[in-house]
Structure 1
Amino acid sequence: MTMNAIIWPEGYIPGFTENYVSNEVIVAGLSAAEIWPLLSTPALWPTYYANSANVRFYDDKGPVLAVGDRFYFETFGFPVEAQCNEYVSPADGQPGRVAWHGWAGEEGTEGRLDVHHAWLVEDLEGGRVRILTQETQKGKPAEELHNAKPNPMINGHQEWLDGLVAAARANQGAK
């Protein structure tokens, strides 16, 4: 069986940035269609992931992400400006893909952080779903996050995945 991979933009290829994290879960009894609305609607993130807050879109966009949409949220103590640069809903035989470029701090300063955060959601045989999230980060804050032990990005993204799965299961029970 072949599984799909994240598509990386130039300048954000893992191994060539100050920080890279990868988290993945594969769970039975859920589908990409059940996960997708919780992930593609940023206003829902704080309902299942405590490390996200104050989500808002710009230019009367939203509530669901789309390529080119600008949005804002707070996470890991950073006020993140972001722009969605990949969005493909899951379909039969095709994984869902969503990614954004996020940034915090003034461009050209030591406090600047730039990230590419990507998600892949795909159905696997046997009634399973795979959720993969990977992020590359550039800048001095990324270097500090990389050196922190335990790694707050690995742990935070795992909480995001676990919350996403729990929320999807709760939605199944509410039907």
Structure 2
Amino acid sequence: MTVELSARAIPAARIAVGRGANSETLAITLACDDVTALAIAASQAEAQLRTFKGIGNVTSSAALQRPEIQIHPDAARAAALGVTTDSLADIVRLATYGDYSNALPKLNLSERQTPVRVRMDPSVRENLNAVSQLRVQGSNGTVNLGSVADISIGSATGAVNKLLLSVSARGKLIIRGE
């Protein structure tokens, strides 16, 4: 039985079989409504694909997990203190990345201008207490970020793709000839 005939039995699968040439890339997309189940399935598929002879350079977008600061605003507390989502976003961006490139102050040197980017030290970003002390503009002055949002360290995929209202993970592999 050929791969194409076997693949037809998979519901909702879109599979195109190539010419089988050396170094041909095959892309696989898994889709699911459950992000956790998708991550598990993508990890298992990646591990199983690595066991096949002649397949190399297996990658997956689901494997791009990295720790990040997660800030979940409390809408009721923010509204009571007059804090907008724009002011929350601005302070978090300024502290973690710095201002937009075109808004950065410039250091004037003899032959060029060098942008000056000011942001929190990476070691401070890991201290949730320090992050919660960032000052956010409210209607009656500034308030602590921690008083209008829950702050935690978590991880999320580097990219989330929407495919027909399902979350998807994409992977690629290279088929090598014998």
Same fold by TM-score greater than 0.5? no
State the TM-score, normalized to the length of structure 1: 0.24
The structure whose residues are more often helix, as a share, is: 2
Larger Rg: 2
State the TM-score, normalized to the length of structure 2: 0.24
